[in-house]
Amino acid sequence: MDRYIFNLKCLRDWCELDYKSQKKIIDYFKNMEHIRWETVSVESKTFNIEGKINLPFGASNYSYLDQYNAFMSKLKDYDTDYITPKSIYYSDALRNMDHSPEILYSKGNRSLVSSGQRVAIVGSRRPTSYGRKVASELSKFLAAHGVTVVSGLALGIDAIAHKAALDMSSNTIAVMASGVNRAYPRTNASIYHEIIQNDGLILSEKAFDEAPKPYEFPLRNRLISAISDIVVIIEAAEASGTLTTAMHGLNQGKTIFALPGSIYSELSRGTNKLIYDGALPLINFEDILLELGIETIDKSMIKKDFSNLSPVAMEVMNLISKGKKMEINRICEEMMLEYSEIISAINELILEELCDFASLTEVEVK
């Protein structure tokens, strides 16, 4: 038996104890694992417990053991792991934060919580094209440098950050307010499953498939910042819930970056205010590496994503890559295609930042 889990579930869920009694028990034994229910039962008045409450000691003991066994069996059925304060994966950052989690449920690679370097990328659920572009490029940049991207699997910036890391075959952690086995929101179910399949990590304080409650999102945000070395806020309105991640990060002593934006943009008011209050402006991706103590790598080493290219654009890319630079007319001759088709393919490559015009008549690989 895992006595920590047994005592935790008895204390918080099964014994129906009020908050004062729970606190007295924890204060008395100092540690969840050390609770001895025989002592609590004998000295029930000490802990402000009325006699009608059945504690896991005495005639009802087996019902609690049955509940424990059923709970652990369900974890196994759902292929769910857990991290407690006695686990090797429970980092000092979790241990030293305010309201440390008593247990974290996980699916995937638990070691990501405490190994390597992690940067949180969070922001608006309805980002602008500017925010989407920065979130995607920053996530890919960090992934190329071996940094794990952390976010909350929400719509918008969160989903973009996770997906960009996955496109680079890199690690990413999704911290959720729902149960760890519930893809929330459902529109991000494909990203949820892709994270697990690619050795990433899903993390939550809730087991199984419980739906999230509104007040649990700010609680989730404190975990996002706690397990991250740096927090980056991409876009946020002035009263955005995203800003609670920055607030928690500041309280935890994390470095906060915020993306500056137009003073006329509603989604830049929150980030601009963060910068005014002392957050570092995100004006150069390399600044994040500097904070992490990572040396930058040559941009040519960054893995480029060709998955979204059309067949013609891919052929053009392969052709000009041989010489790094090529005249447009020669591309037309080599491929025996119309000028308009080649220009369309080149525009596609430029939008993907894979090539650019070297002159009015010539293109080159970036």
CATH code, 291: 3.40.50.450
Same domain, 276 and 336: no
pLDDT tens, residue order, the chain (366 aa): 899 999 999 999 998 889 999 999 999 999 999 999 989 988 888 888 876 778 887 656 678 999 999 999 999 999 999 999 999 999 999 998 988 999 999 999 999 999 899 999 999 999 999 999 999 999 999 999 999 999 999 999 999 999 999 999 999 999 999 999 999 999 999 999 999 999 999 999 999 999 999 999 999 999 999 999 999 999 999 989 899 999 999 999 999 999 999 999 999 999 999 999 999 999 999 999 999 998 775 555 455 667 778 888 888 888 887 777 888 888 888 888 888 888 888 888 888 878 887 776 788 877
pLDDT at residue 304 in the model:
64
Tokens linked to 274:
């963060």
Q: Does 152 reside within a domain?
A: yes
Query: Contact at 8 Å (CB) between 158 and 177?
Result: no
Q: Are residues 244 and 180 in the same domain?
A: yes
Radius of gyration of the chain from Cα atoms?
26
Q: Map residue 357 onto helix, strand or coil.
A: strand
Angle at 135 between CA 134 and CA 137, to 5 degrees: 65
Q: Are 103 and 206 within 8 A, CB to CB?
A: no
Is position 98 within any domain?
no
Q: For residue 328, give its domain range.
A: 311-365
Is 125 part of any domain?
yes
Residue 130 lies in a domain: yes
Same domain, 289 and 324: no
Determine the Cα angle at 261 with ends 259 and 267, to 5°: 90
- Please tell me the predicted confidence (pLDDT) of residue 305: 67
257 and 163 share a domain? Answer: yes
Going by C-alpha positions, the residue among 209, 197, 228, 250 that lies closest to residue 77 is: 209
Last residue of a domain, one of 40, 59, 77: 77
Which residues fall within 8 angstroms of residue 22, CB to CB, at 6 or more apart?
A: 11, 12
Does residue 330 sit in the same domain as residue 291?
no
Same domain flag for 184 and 287: yes
pTM: 0.79
76 burial (CB, 10 Å; 0-12 / 13-18 / 19+) is: exposed
Asked which of 77, 92, 118 is the last residue of a domain, the reply is 77
Structurally, the chain folds into a number of domains equal to 3
Same domain assignment for residues 163 and 279: yes
Residue 276 shares a structural domain with residue 167:
yes
Tell me if 207 sits within 8 A of 179, measured CB to CB.
Answer: yes
Residue 267 lies in a domain: yes
Indicate whether 97 belongs to any domain. Answer: no
pLDDT at res. 298: 54
Contact 16, 53 (CB under 8 A): yes
208 and 154: one domain? yes
In a domain? residue 93? no
